[in-house]
Structure 1
Amino acid sequence: MYTALFAHIAQYVPFSDADATLLQPYLGHQTVARKEHLLTEGHVCTANYFVRQGCLRTYLVTEKGTEQTIQFGIENWWLTDYASLDNHLPSQFNIQAIENTEVVVLEQRVQEEVFRQLPQLERYFRVLLQKSAAAALFRLKFLYTLSGEARYHHFNDRFPGFVQRVPQYMLASYLGFTPEFLSKIRAKVGHR
């Protein structure tokens, strides 16, 4: 059940079978049905979620009542709301399953004990946070510097699987334009 997570950890830090045996009792597993939420706005986030299988999204609801997708998570990606998790504050975000999803759960309440027993996991999470911060900066750069069509092509070239897995309105929201604009781009691409 945790094989994918252990392999992912081993890509970034030394991680032995003995380490896996030590970590396993601290991990949980949860199945999330399509459209079900792992986290809803106003609730405190209590865990980090590693996507074992499926697809999640983080989104917020704007003042106008529209959903703005902030990020996606597919197999071997982590999702959480760190501001809520670390500060024990109500979240301003939602984490929802886009398709039936299985996640490995690392509860915040056991995290310090895990880091004490397996200090290399602090480095693992630091490396992942650095990669995540860099990706967020590039996303902002692309939102501000590329045309909508260029953003779509960049995203499609980098993550072709998402375009097929994610509903059009969610993808458009993530890329910063309307579903109608996305339809026009796709129609244009289809005629080439």
Structure 2
Amino acid sequence: MIDRLFDHIKKFSSASDADLLLIQEVLSKKSFRKKEHLLTSGHTCHYKYFILEGCMRSYFVNSKGAEQIVNFAIEDWWMTDYDSFINQHISQLNIQAIEDCTVLRLSKSDFDQLMTESPSISTYFRTILEKRHIADQRRIQYMFNLSGEEMYDTFFDHNSAFTQRVPQYMLASYLGFTPEFLSKIRKKKAEERS
């Protein structure tokens, strides 16, 4: 299963076998059951998680007591609370397995050491972080510029794997919709296809 991560690293950097060995030595494999939390708000995030199998979400509970989903992640994606992980302070986010998950876990201290020891691994993580930032930036732009239906279409076009794996109420939260509004959009789309 480590080969899955190695392939991902090689896709975004020129990591050598020695670089891959460095990261392999500090990773630990862990499994989480569906609905199990990897992180709960009020605690510090000590790990980055590379998903080998499964689907996760990060979310916070807003002032009205509703869950607001920040991100989803599936196989070959990293999941963490970047703010808490990098700054090592209390997290406002929760990270939860939506499905049974198997991950490779990388601690903050090992991450920091890898960043200084391996320029290639550092390049890999910088590239992944840049891609995450671009995706988050686009999502914010979509929320301000697109209608609800256009936003759903854009999400579906770029992330169709999520629409089959993520419960509708979670997808609605991520897109900033009520579940009822998302249901209306999906019903309309189904009618257009028939």
TM interval, shorter chain, is over 0.9
**Does residue 37 of structure 1 match 2:33?**
no
Q: What SS class does the counterpart of residue 50 from structure 1 fall into?
A: strand
Q: Supply the AA of the counterpart residue of 1:157.
A: D
Could you say which residue in structure 2 is the equivalent of 1:152? 152
State the AA in 2 paired with 1:169. Y
Q: Structure 2: which amino acid aligns with 1:66? A: A
Would the alpha carbon gap of residues 189 and 54 (structure 1) be closer, same or farther in structure 2, given more than 3 Å must change? same
TM-score (norm 1): 0.96
| Shift of residue 109, structure 1, vs aligned partner | 1.4
Matched with 1:162 is: 162
Q: Distance in 2 between matches of 1:85 and 1:172?
A: 27
Q: Which amino acid aligns with 1:23?
A: I
Higher deviation after alignment, 89-98 or 119-128: 119-128
Task: Tell me which stretches of 4 or more aligned residues in structure 1 moved more than 3 Å.
Answer: none
RMSD: 1.1
Any gaps of 5 or more consecutive residues in structure 2? none
For 1:25-84, what per-residue CA distance to the aligned partner results, in whole angstroms no more than 9, with x for missing partners?
100111011000111000000011111111010100001110000110011111111211
Which amino acid in the other structure matches residue 147 of structure 2?
Answer: S
**1:23, 1:130 → 2: CA distance?**
20
**Residue 3 of structure 2 corresponds to which residue in structure 1?**
3
Matched, 1:28 2:28: yes
Cα contact 2:19–2:121 (8 A) shared by 1: no
Name the CA distance, whole Å, in 2 between partners of 1:129 and 1:113: 17
| Contact kept in structure 1, 2:58 and 2:93, CA below 8 Å | yes
Question: In the alignment, which residue of structure 1 is the partner of 2:12?
Answer: 12
State the partner residue of 1:179.
Answer: 179
For the 8 Å contact 1:26–1:114, the answer to whether it is kept is: no
Tell me the SS of whatever aligns to 1:5: helix
When the two structures are aligned, how many residues end up with a matched partner?
192
Q: Residues of 1 paired with 2:14 and 2:133: CA distance?
A: 23
Superposition TM-score, scaled by structure 2 size: 0.95
